[in-house]
Amino acid sequence: MDAQINPGGQKPPLFSHRLAARVLRIAAVVLADIVVAAGIGVVLLRYGPFENTRQFIIGSAMSSFQHQYIAKWIFTQPEIDRVIHKSTASSTQKQDLSAVNPTGTTDSSIVLSKIGDGLQGYALEIKNPLRVHVACTSYIGTRGEFVSALAEKNNAVAAINGGGFSTGADTTGTGAIPSDFVFSNGKLIWKDDALKTSKLPATDDHESVNVVALNDKGVLIVGDYTIDQLQSMNVTEAVDLHGYKPLVLDGKVQYTDDGGKGVQPRTAIGQKKDGTIVLLVIDGRQAGTSGARLNQLANLLANQYDCWTAANLDGGASTAMYYQGNIINKPSAIFGERTVATAFYVSK
């Protein structure tokens, strides 16, 4: 059938001015409803009986370089500080180093397993702890390096991202500046004496900071220590990560909740009583997996992998595991791997 035409010989318009105005009114009402709902949601989050939700949002956002604006938009700085400070209490308990007896120093085996129970990730069990070392970016102050690059430069069979990193004026989130200090292969290779652009305090030899270290016997050391103490303990490898107490200490889980850090992709290192090192990553911030809370991570290491000692490492977009030539997990960074300041690697 031929299309109808009006007397003027033109087709009638598909949308009249009246219909267009009606559509615009409906859109305006919907938009107004969304704005009102968002406003009510913000008010409820700030003043309602949802303390756990507030801590979850603040912890998850502030543990990320990219998403801190979410917490800052909803909450005041004192509210954010209250949650953050709750999670930064130092641990005064010192571990019993004699409880770990490395028995596999001649065993070259590595066991790879997948993480289950609703989490996505991998664990590597390295029987010989003396094979585990720290690598550091060769471009301190300029940029970090990928975990895969650090692994390949050190001829490693496996690696995970390591400790925290400071934020310089032009290096935010790049892993250019390792925080506080780095020990590698028996040497103190980096010490942050006075980084005025850093958000973290300068390191003093007598200042205790949260560390993840290995001594010359292959025993994993976690907790608050000074550089002087680490050197007296014959530490060969060490990084630090501000704001976290150990996940597992003397076989006991140290977290009952998320510690004010929310749900994130996670990287951790642990050790069994026989000296076996466990390297673990959990993916997050993507479809199908949001990540893990610190108490989930601690329970996993203590109960499923029998770790006597364990510590959280840098997570979020930094989380990456390299094994036999490839990154085997799914980093949350948009372009895949993110540059980092340090990594723990397993020598061949």
Query: What was the pLDDT predicted at 86?
Result: 55
Is 177 a residue whose pLDDT tops 70?
Answer: yes
256-278 pLDDT per residue, tens: 887 777 899 999 999 999 999 99
Helix, strand, or coil (residue 183): strand
The per-residue b/e assignment along 52-64, b for 16 or more CB within 10 angstroms, e otherwise, is eebbbbbbbbbbb
* Cβ–Cβ under 8 Å, residues 333 and 170: no
In this structure, the strands spanning 156-161 and 248-249 are unpaired
Note the helical H segments in the chain.
17-47, 51-62, 68-74, 77-86, 147-153, 227-232, 294-299
Give pLDDT tens digits for 20-61.
777 788 787 778 767 665 556 555 455 554 455 555 555 555
Confidence band of 173 (pLDDT split at 50, 70, 90): confident
For the chain, domain boundaries: 15-83, 108-345
pLDDT digits (tens, 9 = 90+) for 327-346: 999 999 888 899 999 999 99
Neighbours of 271 (CB within 10 A): 29
Q: What is the pLDDT of residue 38?
A: 56
Cβ neighbours around 229 below 10 Å, total: 17
- Residue 65's nearest CA partner among 333, 342, 336 is 333
pLDDT digits (tens, 9 = 90+) for 121-170: 999 999 999 999 999 999 998 999 999 999 999 999 999 999 988 766 66
